[in-house]
Chain A
Amino acid sequence: GNSVTQMEGPVTLSEEAFLTINCTYTATGYPSLFWYVQYPGEGLQLLLKATKADDKGSNKGFEATYRKETTSFHLEKGSVQVSDSAVYFCAPNSGYALNFGKGTSLLVTP
Protein backbone atom coordinates (compact mmCIF):
# COMPACT_ATOMS: atom_id res chain seq x y z
CA GLY A 1 0.00 0.00 0.00
CA ASN A 2 0.87 3.66 0.06
CA SER A 3 2.67 5.39 2.90
CA VAL A 4 4.17 8.76 3.70
CA THR A 5 6.97 10.12 5.83
CA GLN A 6 6.67 13.66 7.10
CA MET A 7 7.99 15.45 10.14
CA GLU A 8 5.51 15.44 13.01
CA GLY A 9 6.52 18.72 14.50
CA PRO A 10 5.42 20.80 16.16
CA VAL A 11 6.97 23.31 13.82
CA THR A 12 6.97 26.78 15.33
CA LEU A 13 7.56 29.80 13.12
CA SER A 14 7.23 33.52 13.46
CA GLU A 15 4.75 35.32 11.24
CA GLU A 16 6.13 36.03 7.73
CA ALA A 17 8.74 33.26 7.99
CA PHE A 18 9.32 30.78 5.17
CA LEU A 19 7.73 27.38 5.59
CA THR A 20 8.84 24.00 4.30
CA ILE A 21 7.24 20.76 5.36
CA ASN A 22 8.92 17.74 3.83
CA CYS A 23 6.96 14.78 2.54
CA THR A 24 8.29 11.62 0.94
CA TYR A 25 6.05 8.79 -0.10
CA THR A 26 6.05 5.19 -1.21
CA ALA A 27 3.34 4.05 -3.54
CA THR A 28 2.54 1.54 -6.21
CA GLY A 29 2.03 2.97 -9.63
CA TYR A 30 1.76 6.70 -10.19
CA PRO A 31 -0.38 8.21 -7.49
CA SER A 32 -1.93 11.62 -7.35
CA LEU A 33 -0.47 13.56 -4.44
CA PHE A 34 -2.38 15.70 -1.98
CA TRP A 35 -1.83 18.07 0.90
CA TYR A 36 -4.67 18.43 3.37
CA VAL A 37 -4.96 20.86 6.25
CA GLN A 38 -6.83 20.42 9.53
CA TYR A 39 -7.70 23.51 11.52
CA PRO A 40 -8.52 23.11 15.22
CA GLY A 41 -11.89 21.46 15.79
CA GLU A 42 -12.48 20.70 12.12
CA GLY A 43 -12.10 17.90 9.63
CA LEU A 44 -9.40 17.82 6.98
CA GLN A 45 -9.69 20.09 3.95
CA LEU A 46 -7.95 19.69 0.64
CA LEU A 47 -5.19 22.28 0.37
CA LEU A 48 -3.66 21.38 -2.99
CA LYS A 49 -3.01 18.47 -5.31
CA ALA A 50 -0.81 17.34 -8.19
CA THR A 51 -1.67 14.49 -10.50
CA LYS A 52 1.54 13.78 -12.40
CA ALA A 53 5.29 14.20 -12.25
CA ASP A 54 6.55 17.81 -12.27
CA ASP A 55 3.06 19.19 -11.69
CA LYS A 56 2.92 22.02 -9.18
CA GLY A 57 -0.12 22.34 -6.98
CA SER A 58 -0.84 25.70 -5.38
CA ASN A 59 -3.46 27.33 -3.20
CA LYS A 60 -3.62 30.16 -0.64
CA GLY A 61 0.09 30.88 -1.13
CA PHE A 62 1.11 27.26 -0.55
CA GLU A 63 2.92 25.28 -3.25
CA ALA A 64 4.15 21.73 -3.72
CA THR A 65 5.80 20.08 -6.71
CA TYR A 66 5.40 16.39 -7.61
CA ARG A 67 8.94 15.00 -7.75
CA LYS A 68 8.79 11.46 -9.06
CA GLU A 69 12.56 10.93 -9.04
CA THR A 70 12.81 11.67 -5.33
CA THR A 71 9.26 10.50 -4.48
CA SER A 72 8.68 13.77 -2.68
CA PHE A 73 5.98 16.41 -2.44
CA HIS A 74 7.30 19.09 -0.12
CA LEU A 75 4.96 21.88 0.97
CA GLU A 76 6.22 25.47 0.91
CA LYS A 77 4.90 28.92 1.67
CA GLY A 78 6.90 32.09 1.38
CA SER A 79 5.36 34.01 4.25
CA VAL A 80 3.22 32.27 6.86
CA GLN A 81 0.43 33.90 8.85
CA VAL A 82 -0.94 33.17 12.29
CA SER A 83 -4.07 31.81 10.58
CA ASP A 84 -1.94 29.08 8.95
CA SER A 85 -1.55 27.39 12.33
CA ALA A 86 -2.95 23.92 11.75
CA VAL A 87 -1.98 20.31 11.13
CA TYR A 88 -0.86 19.48 7.59
CA PHE A 89 -1.16 16.02 6.04
CA CYS A 90 0.58 14.73 2.95
CA ALA A 91 -1.13 11.83 1.17
CA PRO A 92 -0.57 9.80 -2.01
CA ASN A 93 -3.62 8.28 -3.58
CA SER A 94 -3.52 5.44 -6.06
CA GLY A 95 -6.24 2.90 -5.90
CA TYR A 96 -8.86 2.60 -3.29
CA ALA A 97 -7.23 3.39 0.02
CA LEU A 98 -5.87 6.76 1.07
CA ASN A 99 -3.41 6.62 3.95
CA PHE A 100 -2.43 9.63 5.97
CA GLY A 101 0.55 10.08 8.22
CA LYS A 102 0.38 11.70 11.63
CA GLY A 103 0.56 15.08 10.02
CA THR A 104 2.81 18.01 10.81
CA SER A 105 1.62 20.46 13.41
CA LEU A 106 2.42 24.08 12.57
CA LEU A 107 2.22 26.93 15.04
CA VAL A 108 2.76 30.46 13.76
CA THR A 109 3.37 33.12 16.40
CA PRO A 110 2.80 36.86 15.93
Chain B
Amino acid sequence: DSGVTQTPKHLITATGQRVTLRCSPRSGDLSVYWYQQSLDQGLQFLIHYYNGEERAKGNILERFSAQQFPDLHSELNLSSLELGDSALYFCASSVGGQGSPLHFGNGTRLTVT
Protein backbone atom coordinates (compact mmCIF):
# COMPACT_ATOMS: atom_id res chain seq x y z
CA ASP B 1 0.00 0.00 0.00
CA SER B 2 1.59 3.26 -1.17
CA GLY B 3 -0.52 5.43 1.09
CA VAL B 4 -1.87 7.41 -1.88
CA THR B 5 -5.62 7.15 -2.33
CA GLN B 6 -7.39 7.83 -5.58
CA THR B 7 -11.12 7.93 -6.09
CA PRO B 8 -13.06 6.75 -7.89
CA LYS B 9 -11.39 3.58 -9.17
CA HIS B 10 -13.50 3.48 -12.28
CA LEU B 11 -15.50 6.13 -14.08
CA ILE B 12 -17.65 5.74 -17.17
CA THR B 13 -19.08 8.84 -18.75
CA ALA B 14 -20.22 10.23 -22.07
CA THR B 15 -18.50 12.57 -24.49
CA GLY B 16 -18.91 16.23 -23.64
CA GLN B 17 -19.24 15.58 -19.92
CA ARG B 18 -17.08 16.78 -17.05
CA VAL B 19 -15.53 14.66 -14.30
CA THR B 20 -13.42 15.21 -11.21
CA LEU B 21 -10.75 12.81 -10.04
CA ARG B 22 -9.57 13.00 -6.49
CA CYS B 23 -6.24 12.21 -4.87
CA SER B 24 -5.18 12.08 -1.24
CA PRO B 25 -1.39 12.04 -0.92
CA ARG B 26 0.64 10.09 1.61
CA SER B 27 0.68 11.64 5.03
CA GLY B 28 3.43 14.26 5.14
CA ASP B 29 3.91 14.51 1.39
CA LEU B 30 3.65 18.04 0.00
CA SER B 31 4.04 17.29 -3.69
CA VAL B 32 1.30 15.86 -5.89
CA TYR B 33 1.77 14.81 -9.50
CA TRP B 34 -0.85 13.80 -12.05
CA TYR B 35 -0.17 11.44 -14.94
CA GLN B 36 -2.19 10.04 -17.81
CA GLN B 37 -1.43 6.52 -19.03
CA SER B 38 -2.69 5.18 -22.33
CA LEU B 39 -1.50 2.32 -24.49
CA ASP B 40 -0.30 4.51 -27.35
CA GLN B 41 1.15 7.44 -25.38
CA GLY B 42 2.60 5.69 -22.37
CA LEU B 43 2.82 7.53 -19.06
CA GLN B 44 2.52 11.27 -19.64
CA PHE B 45 3.18 13.88 -17.00
CA LEU B 46 0.31 16.33 -16.68
CA ILE B 47 0.94 18.66 -13.76
CA HIS B 48 2.76 19.01 -10.44
CA TYR B 49 1.73 20.87 -7.29
CA TYR B 50 3.79 21.57 -4.23
CA ASN B 51 2.10 22.70 -1.05
CA GLY B 52 -0.81 24.20 -2.93
CA GLU B 53 1.15 25.90 -5.69
CA GLU B 54 1.52 24.78 -9.28
CA ARG B 55 5.16 23.93 -9.96
CA ALA B 56 5.28 22.37 -13.40
CA LYS B 57 3.01 21.67 -16.33
CA GLY B 58 3.45 18.89 -18.80
CA ASN B 59 1.22 17.74 -21.62
CA ILE B 60 -1.99 18.91 -20.02
CA LEU B 61 -4.82 19.94 -22.30
CA GLU B 62 -6.61 23.25 -21.79
CA ARG B 63 -9.81 21.26 -21.11
CA PHE B 64 -8.08 19.79 -18.05
CA SER B 65 -7.34 21.63 -14.84
CA ALA B 66 -6.14 20.72 -11.39
CA GLN B 67 -5.68 22.17 -7.97
CA GLN B 68 -4.21 21.25 -4.62
CA PHE B 69 -6.16 22.26 -1.56
CA PRO B 70 -4.90 23.47 1.85
CA ASP B 71 -5.29 19.95 3.26
CA LEU B 72 -2.98 18.84 0.39
CA HIS B 73 -5.48 16.66 -1.41
CA SER B 74 -5.71 17.32 -5.12
CA GLU B 75 -8.38 17.19 -7.78
CA LEU B 76 -8.02 16.82 -11.53
CA ASN B 77 -10.93 18.19 -13.52
CA LEU B 78 -11.53 16.94 -17.04
CA SER B 79 -14.14 18.73 -19.13
CA SER B 80 -15.66 18.48 -22.61
CA LEU B 81 -14.56 14.89 -22.58
CA GLU B 82 -13.62 13.15 -25.80
CA LEU B 83 -13.22 9.47 -26.61
CA GLY B 84 -9.47 9.95 -26.67
CA ASP B 85 -9.46 10.99 -23.02
CA SER B 86 -10.18 7.40 -22.03
CA ALA B 87 -7.13 6.35 -20.03
CA LEU B 88 -5.77 5.55 -16.62
CA TYR B 89 -5.10 8.63 -14.54
CA PHE B 90 -2.53 8.30 -11.79
CA CYS B 91 -1.75 10.53 -8.91
CA ALA B 92 1.60 10.34 -7.17
CA SER B 93 2.98 12.13 -4.13
CA SER B 94 6.39 12.80 -2.66
CA VAL B 95 7.90 14.79 0.18
CA GLY B 96 9.27 17.12 -2.48
CA GLY B 97 12.69 18.07 -3.73
CA GLN B 98 15.15 16.42 -6.04
CA GLY B 99 15.79 12.81 -5.28
CA SER B 100 12.48 12.19 -3.57
CA PRO B 101 10.82 9.10 -5.00
CA LEU B 102 7.21 9.22 -6.11
CA HIS B 103 4.52 7.09 -4.48
CA PHE B 104 1.70 6.21 -6.82
CA GLY B 105 -1.94 5.53 -6.24
CA ASN B 106 -3.67 2.70 -8.08
CA GLY B 107 -5.23 5.06 -10.56
CA THR B 108 -8.65 5.99 -11.86
CA ARG B 109 -9.72 4.27 -15.04
CA LEU B 110 -11.76 6.69 -17.11
CA THR B 111 -13.87 5.40 -19.98
CA VAL B 112 -15.54 7.93 -22.24
CA THR B 113 -18.31 6.49 -24.41
A48 closest partner in B (C-beta): B101
Say whether A45 contacts B99, CB under 8 Å.
no
**Complex formed: what's the CA distance from A93 to B90 in Å?**
18
A5 CB within 8 Å of chain B: no
Indicate with 1 or 0, residue by residue over A30-70, a CB within 8 angstroms of chain B CB atoms: 01101010000111111001010000000000000000000
Say whether A34 contacts B2, CB under 8 Å.
no
Q: How many CB-defined contacts (below 8 Å) exist between A and B? A: 62
Contact A51-B99, Cβ < 8 Å, known A42-B106, A98-B33: yes
Query: How many Å from the CB of B29 to the closest CB on chain A?
Result: 13
**Complex formed: what's the CA distance from A40 to B105 in Å?**
13
Contact A34-B101, Cβ < 8 Å, known A42-B106, A43-B90: yes
**Complex formed: what's the CA distance from A16 to B102 in Å?**
30
Query: How many Å from the CB of B65 to the closest CB on chain A?
Result: 18
Say whether A93 contacts B99, CB under 8 Å.
yes
| A residues lining the B interface (CB < 8 Å) | 31-32, 34, 36, 41-46, 49, 51, 89, 93-103
| B residues lining the A interface (CB < 8 Å) | 2, 4, 33, 35, 41-43, 45, 48, 50, 55-56, 58, 90, 92, 98-107
Nearest 5 pairs between A and B by C-beta?
A102-B42, A43-B104, A32-B99, A97-B56, A96-B56
Task: Give me 10 other A-B pairs in contact (C-beta within 8 A), A36-B102, A44-B43, A95-B98 excluded.
Answer: A42-B106, A44-B92, A44-B102, A44-B104, A89-B43, A97-B55, A97-B58, A98-B45, A100-B43, A103-B43
